[in-house]
Chain A
Amino acid sequence: MRDQTIMLVEDNPDDEMLTLRALKKNNILNEVFVAHDGVEALEYLFPDSGQAAAGLPGLILLDLNLPKVNGLEVLRRIRADQRTRLVPIVVLTSSKEQEDILDSYHGGANAYVRKPVNFADFSAAVRTLGMFWLLLNEPVPEVIPPPD
């Protein structure tokens, strides 16, 4: 497993704890930064000029239904910024409304996964996501050549 931070954007403390537990149970031991709403997520990714940037996460797990700035808006702002536009983002949410799925893909999400209610299924989903995005998938090279 590469040494990359996972950013979990999740406002519900139960879902947060279950996701962290599922990561641990599946031996995905990467550091996890939890943002509890859209504002915290954006502050982590785009710190004020005075503060040091924390480095980009290797994977963002993004809930849609968030207080303050919602998930789709977080997605939009991440994709609109040169620094973060290539970071893998998996939308991880309760909804399977067509509109949410379409909006997420149009917004530039790399994947859309509906959180299963059954914990064994949920744990398997988290394992698959971790394995794929942090192990199997080739990450974006560190030095991104400027476009054109």
Chain B
Amino acid sequence: MKYGFYPGCSLEKNAYAYNQSTMAVTKAFDIEFVEVEDWNCCGATEYIAIDLLPAYALISRNLAIAAKQQSEQLVAACSACFLNLKKADHYMGESHKLNEKINKALAAGGFNYEPGSVKVRHLLDIIYNDVGIEAIQEKIIKPLYQLKVAPYYGCLVPRPAKMGSFDSNEYPTSMDEIMRALGATVVDFPLKAACCGGHMTQISEDVALDMMRRILKNATDNRADLIVTLCPMCQFNLDAYQESVNKKFGTKYNLPILYFTQMIGLALGMSEQELGIGKELVSAKAALTNISEEPPPKPKRVRRSKEALPLPVLEEV
């Protein structure tokens, strides 16, 4: 399997662990990445909010290069990069006017992009749909038995719906399924697709900290050992600001935030070092000792009282 790959700035710096683990895991599944040559920043969430046209021009330069490199599918691991690339491609296809303007701007640098020629996909989509649960299971050496994880999707991968998505927009389950396949126990996590606050930390820290608090609280309330994410921004916020949250609200959250690729890597028997585990600020060391060699005992059937009414049955995922 061969794809174009757009790393984005965070994978070079604060999310280097994501980069490392992505490369290690994709290699194990024979995925070949062709990096976009001389790629540039996607503008994150800010530039689009300030000036659309240069923002889209900046993003589509990467699409143009990917197209030139004949990458029919372009993979991004960072949620913001993924959404920006997808948005630019989508709106260029939708608006002839925008397409013209952007291509005029691209022409100044000798580029050209035909919307629709590159299909933008998120790394999770590739692992879940192209690699598939079965292929992952076949390669598992060290199952993550008894580790309780809260899979956290954030907002930029599941939404918006109108550009089409590979999972539910409100209650995604693809990462849950991958975690279960690895042997981990997935806890109920209603806020799995809520926003972490993004760059709100820079605008109004109070608002941002409260947004992070509810996510940390929800995962802790549901007894997660750690949160697993697919987004450098989510990881950074929940990890780096956890201490500030604790200080502000007088809480004692101690929840490591790891990438789903790190979890897959662990189950495939890769070393923590190889996967960049240890680079996180809230150390995952203690949490990872919960991994057991034994699968968890079958949950006891809760005896319901005689008066209790039957429950609607959810199909087992």
- The answer to whether A and B assemble together is no
